[in-house]
Amino acid sequence: MTSSPRPPHIGDPPDPTGGTPALGGEPARGYLLDNARTEAGERFVWLAELFDGVTRGHFDRLGVGAGSRCWEVGAGGRSVPEALAAAVGPTGYVLATDIDPSWLEAGGGYEVRRHDVAADPPPEPGTFDLVHARLVLVHVPDRARALATMAAALRPGGWLLVEDADTALQPLACLDDSGPAQRRANRLRDAVRELLARRGADLRYGRTLPRALREAGLVDVAASGSFPVGGPACDRLEAATIRHVRGELLAAGLADDAEIDAHLAAIQAGELDLTLAPLISAWGRRPAEYPPALG
């Protein structure tokens, strides 16, 4: 991840202060799915399994190749920086940043820096052929500033690719709501979405990306969506996510131990056809006359 917060799930848009009231009346703060837990590494593995093919397809279409300069924002795990490093080769350059870069590997063919995209100035402004962030901005309270920072890093003609979930667009864990195990999975997905909304995530952000890129001054803006349904990667991502936030679910009174244990057992038994929110991928190009500004 990169900035204040980064990776998935719903609710109404949060207030602009960056958090909605928690049960005690105080705003909840900080990224719910932080990088400090072992489960974060598991989540990176399964997110890569589900979405790296989509992301690499966009890199290819946007012309990332030998000699390209790329900035991976809120990288989280290693898979995307490694894919970019392989694409650009020894004549290119890849910078991977995160507010907590502990899952990245210095010397893996890319440079690693600690960076908060919503607070820090852009690294090497006006020099990158591609700037990319996946499942980052949905969790960043000051999304407009983060987007301006990324746009300011582009060279004229460079591409910004932003990929974020829209969990309000598709809020279910199980599309086939056919029995008690499926209904329990959907209740728990609602609970995770509630926790994320309390932390300031905008869980309707994905649908706004084309407009946000145009408002940032980019041209040739377009978008597409990806929507995985079922399979081991969805199961394992769900289990890792639930384990990651189990304490918060219990503390908030949104679930109890018996419900969580039953859900994890159903996942392990292969009883659920789990799915995710659509990943919206949007891209736009910096025109030659574009004057980047960090309002």
Amino acid identity of 163?
A: E
Residue 203 pLDDT grade (very low, low, confident, very high; cuts 50, 70, 90): confident
Find the range with the poorest average confidence among 24-28, 52-56, 118-122, 153-157: 24-28
Amino acid identity of 87?
A: A
Q: pLDDT (tens digit, 9 = 90+) per residue, 214-265?
A: 999 999 999 999 989 999 999 999 999 999 899 999 999 999 999 999 999 9
Distance, in Å, from the CA atom of 170 to the CA atom of 204, rounded to the nearest integer, reads 10
Residue 22 parent element (H or E):
none
pTM of the model: 0.85
Domains and CATH numbers, the chain: 38-285 (3.40.50.150)
In the predicted structure, residue 4 carries a pLDDT above the cut 70: no
Cα–Cα separations (whole angstroms), residue 19 to 8, 13, 30, 193, 212: 16, 10, 9, 13, 21
Closest-CA residue to 186 (of 172, 198, 201, 176): 172
Average pLDDT score over residue span 32-55: 82
Residue 294 pLDDT grade (very low, low, confident, very high; cuts 50, 70, 90): very low
Distance, in Å, from the CA atom of 224 to the CA atom of 62, rounded to the nearest integer, reads 14
- Percent of the chain past pLDDT 70, that is, above it, reads 85
**Is 266:239 a contact under the CB 8 Å cutoff?**
no
